[in-house]
Structure formats: C-alpha cells, structure tokens
Amino acid sequence: MRRILPDVAAGRDLLLIARPPLIASTLEETDAALHNLLQRAKLLSAP
C-alpha cells in the first residue's frame, strides 16, 4: 500500500478488507491486485 499511496487521488478515503486468500499471496501479487483494483475504480491520479 505504501508504494501505491502517492498515486491515489487526493481527497480519497479508502477502506480495505482482506479476504482469506490474501494469506497465501505474495507481496508482489497483493501489490499488483491492489493497483489493478484502484486503477479499475479510477482512484489513481497517475497513469
């Protein structure tokens, strides 16, 4: 999350809920999934 935080559009509050499959995920997989989710939701200010 810290790597993506600077790219999140200003003035937004985010609530993340982790589901059980997160336990088996690597940091890279989690980071990619979070980036994809925020991009699909149009919450990233940088491309």
pLDDT tens digit at each of 47 positions of the chain: 778 888 888 888 889 899 998 899 999 999 999 999 999 999 888 55
- DSSP string spanning the chain? -TTTGGGBPTT--------GGGGG--HHHHHHHHHHHHHHTT-BS--
| pLDDT in the model for residue 26 | 94
| pLDDT in the model for residue 24 | 94
**Cα–Cα distance between 5 and 20 in angstroms, integer?**
23
